[in-house]
Structure 1
């Protein structure tokens, strides 16, 4: 038995998914020492308050940033917890009670042990990998292709945040339940397993209560109906199989009705797009986001705010991948179902800014596609059977050579990215979450004033980088017991230079070069569907913002009028300079200063 045959036998072993799960958990275990990161602190404060009987709202409403309540939003803007450009009807309220329950368990059982919270998440990750392995063995056959796809999934560095960040556990909980849904449905359809008829829809409901992205299960169920349903003649098979999906549609519709009735969903944001509340906004952003997610699934390095190749390159890459898979897809309906289901799973993932952390569910089909390309590359003849032990046939003339040549061409970088670089990156990224996510915010906040007198002053930030989130000032200062300002005023946010004029004692005019809000970070509070117009004004407690000029809905000149003279000692002025906040010297009346942009 040669080396490839021995490896195929290992990958085809029934216990291989457990081995892959252990490997994935070990790689992601570098997160055990990262502690709490950003939103984890917020969740801790919320849970602690609920355990003391002081919490506002229900403990399961943990994933709520804005409720769509204009009065409450205005109060946050007055205090500085939300910037002045926040959409009045901003709603980012996500219903994930099952995931919230896992955090509630953390804070009941081991409240002072973040490493145990991380270990809890790693158990979910291990369960997810085992479940994916079991599902792929059913869909692809109990062979080495399914084992290779499971390995690709287990070591995928796109899982660094879901596996390593406590606040992202919802993706794992939902993933486990979606995979269980698909497994139960497949068994019910192909083996007439009666419990699956009610168990699979119930599991889907639980998945939806864990994370909204679980609606991706419908894409996999549709693909299963088209390629893996009862084989009694294709037209009848499709109709009957599609008709069998009605319980899942009923569950999803009922969940969404309850979701809306309870006030959950998203609106007004340019980051979270709700396809039900704002379908036009979602559809307008869908092509660009789908292209970015496709590149991320292929292994493109990127995260929030990254740039991606053009649409032409995207089409070329996906066409090449599809052509390379042609020999396998012709005889492996399970692979076709996986690939189509994975592609459809990208649609719900596009409801927020593209990031590889969103690819847990799409990654099931993506990993199968990678394994399929490698299978074609290793195939020397017509045998494309999903049977794992089937070694390549020695007769190359029995199938076209060009798909295999293309598969070899694509297979080399796919192996390098998904099987060589990805495991290293998974371990590195999971262990560096604090440095990558919280440390930059902490370093920025650390440059702001922290003396005791700040408690009696309003901190006015003339310009901040878009990556600075004002709410994190309160979060990180609460966490370190440093002084907090009486109020926070962020006048503008941009990476570019800003000209600051002072026409009178109480007024500043800000002119950002290139305009405000041209980045994905400030879009969290206000999306493109809520453009500003010249003459718009926002009146807040103690100051007023007037839009003087706009370009494509983005303010290019803003007048800010304070109720008190700008020199009043109750104000503390700072501005962003290169890489830190520094004290800002107000220009004399009738004069102007130019603030440099971020490097």
Structure 2
């Protein structure tokens, strides 16, 4: 009976063993092919425009805002909504990644498949690095398990957004250098590992996750007398940290990126909530993406269920790590299974901690997935050796089927999901502001599905060679009803039912679940719950926003828009939404009132 269940559980492993390395390459090419067609999205379109600027520096590509003056400048460019926190900071030290984008700009500035293939090449480097780690962790003789672990890491559906969205290339490059840094460490080449670690950190702050595997290697792989040699990794860390601090990099005063160093106690509580979701998603399907679609109460329930998921995972992995603590008498030969499994388990857990500083998403699972995929490979190796009992064989078979069959099938769909950004930034606005006069005008979206994304439309259209407005300013969410009153020839008063942008604490009232919640979260990511008060004035260049009546929690509910020209001026165009579709709006007469109903997030 046990042999039959073991053979059944090993079917995914046998499948990839039969396909072999050549089948893995062919499968990866076919399953990842949709990334050639996702196109430039959100940050991509702005960065493509920046590359054409004669004053552009590679160091500026990921320095979005660092000072209050930068916030004002981005608001005048309509790249930040008017409710953004004036002290917002979003700046990242990613010079290596920036240079790869510069190369793209020289070779094929607007030919997206080239950019996608460039990202895919870095992903292939990361996969080869993961395979090198698995050879040391699982042993050279575990050929089928190594191939299977490499395959499920390469074709994990959790990597869909990472592969499909060009802006995530930084994480792929960091993983590429990070995996080879860990592999070099396992082979005793610590100087090379330190250099690769520095390149990983200079590719993305996500490279910090590499330290999780280096720490795990020091604990479970290195001989005790050799552990002090890991101090060499403090050199690239110190240099990177100095550049980070000196350049004013980091994320602050926003809900999208948490300042872990500035608020360590609060960050610890965030890790307790988010780490189980992220690590549990790496073991199963990417359920962590549901987090942004749930109201706060249900999001906390998801976190609790994720914590409970750790129990069966620990039970399943116990046979892999239960061996007596090794003596480390000879650190150079292949690791015994228990040591390799401990290393992979600890590394995958520690790699989750740094990425908890941003909103939970499957795109954060790249580094943690290296260890989890290796552990799944270790389960396959244990099955091949006949070391698991009946119930663990059944559980392991389920895990192997999810990673070896279901996840690769879902990968193309996960990549294509990136196209939702196309809907929110371009397709929702189809048919409006396309005449010749619009290119000379600034557009005012009295309603916008996601205010954070509205300002990307002019850049996206210019990149596609289509007419569009000079700038597009978002005023209020189209998910809520708004009442518009014209006070004089240059002033509109807007009253929004539940206010603009959810407050701190995530109070989200309607609907209780669904993509609307995600949209409201996105509009809040640049506020950090920053309250507005009666009399506050925000200068947006073409107009001022004057807060008249905020809600008790600080959300501006009634405010005036005071323009620098009459509303009928040719340099101003107005847009509202009807049944999810954008349409131009003719300004009402002085003293009149118009009701703008709530709209669905996506067109009907």
- TM class by shorter-chain length? 0.7 to 0.9
Rate the CA distance shift 1:312–1:559 in 2: closer, same or farther, 3 A: same
Note if contact 2:484-2:492 (Cα within 8 Å) is conserved in structure 1: yes
Q: State the partner residue of 1:171.
A: 171
Q: What residue number does 2:428 align with?
A: 444
1:390-417 deviation per Cα after TM superposition (whole angstroms, max 9, x unaligned): 5316xxxxx8x6xx52x35644543343
Counterpart for residue 233 of structure 1: none
Distance change >3 Å, CA 374–CA 523, structure 1 → 2: farther
CA contact (8 A) 1:216 1:348 kept: yes
Query: Equivalent residue for 1:350?
Result: 356
Q: SS where residue 576 of structure 1 aligns?
A: strand
- Asked if 1:183 is matched to 2:189, the reply is no
Q: 1:409 to 1:536 in 2, by over 3 A?
A: farther
Deviation at 1:362, TM superposition (A): 0.8
What's the CA shift for 1:145? Answer: 3.7
C-alpha separation between the residues in 1 aligned to 2:582 and 2:226?
Answer: 61
Q: Equivalences for 1:219-230 in 2 at 5 Å?
A: 219-230=212-223
Q: Relative to structure 1, is the Cα distance of residues 452 and 110 closer, same or farther in structure 2, using a 3 angstrom cutoff?
A: closer
Separation in 2, partners of 1:273, 1:515: 24
Q: How does 1:136-215 map to 2 (within 5 A)?
A: 136-142=134-140, 143=142, 144-188=144-188, 196-215=189-208
Residue 479 of structure 2 aligns to a residue in which SS? coil
Query: Separation in 1 of the partners of 2:552 and 2:311?
Result: 38
How far apart, in 1, do the equivalents of 2:581 and 2:287 lie? 27
Tell me how far 1:135 sits from its aligned partner: 0.4
The answer to whether the aligner puts 1:320 opposite 2:312 as a matched pair is yes
SS at 2:551 equivalent: strand
Shift of the 538–111 alpha-carbon distance from structure 1 to 2, 3 Å rule, reads: closer
Aligned equivalent of 2:366:
360
* Partner-residue secondary structure (3-state), 1:43: helix
1:127-185 CA-to-partner distances (Å, cap 9, x unmatched) read 22121111012012231444332222121012223334443222222111111111111
Q: Distance in 1 between matches of 2:250 and 2:395?
A: 40
- Name the structure 2 match of 1:193: none
- Number of the residue aligned with 1:300: 286
CA–CA distance in structure 1, aligned partners of residues 555 and 272 of structure 2: 23
* 1:392 maps to which of 379, 386, 396: 386
* Cα contact 2:486–2:592 (8 A) shared by 1: yes
Distance 1:111 1:571 in 2: 32
* Residue 32 (structure 2) aligns with: 28
> How many equivalent pairs are there?
554
TM-score (norm 2): 0.82
Report the equivalent of 1:581: 582
Instruction: Report what 1:385 is aligned to.
Output: none
Q: Per-residue deviation at 1:440?
A: 4.0
CA pair 157-547 structure 1, distance change in 2 beyond 3 A:
farther
Specify every segment of 5 or more residues in structure 2 that has no aligned partner in the other structure, as ranges.
324-337, 503-519
Output aligned runs, 1:90-169, within 5 Å: 90-111=88-109, 113-142=111-140, 143=142, 144-169=144-169
CA offsets 1:31-81 (integer angstroms, 9 cap, x no match): 2344544444333333344xxxx133x224322322x23234323323423
> Where does the alignment leave 5 or more consecutive residues of structure 1 unmatched?
189-195, 231-236, 379-389, 394-398
For the 8 Å contact 2:486–2:492, the answer to whether it is kept is yes
Alignment of 1:187-586 (within 5 A): 187-188=187-188, 196-230=189-223, 237=224, 240=225, 243-276=228-261, 279=264, 282-283=267-268, 285-297=270-282, 298-301=284-287, 303=289, 305-307=292-294, 309-331=301-323, 332-372=338-378, 378=383, 391-392=385-386, 405=391, 407-408=392-393, 410-430=395-415, 432=416, 435-466=419-450, 469-485=453-469, 487-493=471-477, 495-502=479-486, 506-518=490-502, 519-528=520-529, 530-541=530-541, 542-546=543-547, 548-566=549-567, 570-586=571-587
* 8 A Cα contact 1:24 1:154, kept in partner: yes
Distance 1:270 1:466 in 2: 15
C-alpha contact (below 8 Å) 2:138/2:378 kept by paired residues: no
Contact 2:220 2:339 in 1 (8 A): yes
**Take 1:241 and 1:512, find their aligned partners in 2: how far apart are those partners?**
63
SS of the residue 2:366 aligns to? coil
CA distance in 1, matches of 2:560, 2:304: 42
Alpha carbons 1:573, 1:585 under 8 Å: kept: yes
Provide the aligned C-alpha RMSD in A. Answer: 3.3
> SS of 1:581's equivalent?
strand
Contact kept, 8 Å, 1:61 with 1:97, in 2: the verdict is: no
Post-superposition shift, 1:213? 0.4
Counterpart contact for 1:273–1:281, Cα < 8 Å: no
Query: Measured at CA, do residues 566 and 208 of structure 1 come closer, stay the same or move farther in structure 2, by a change above 3 Å?
Result: same
TM-score by length of 1: 0.82
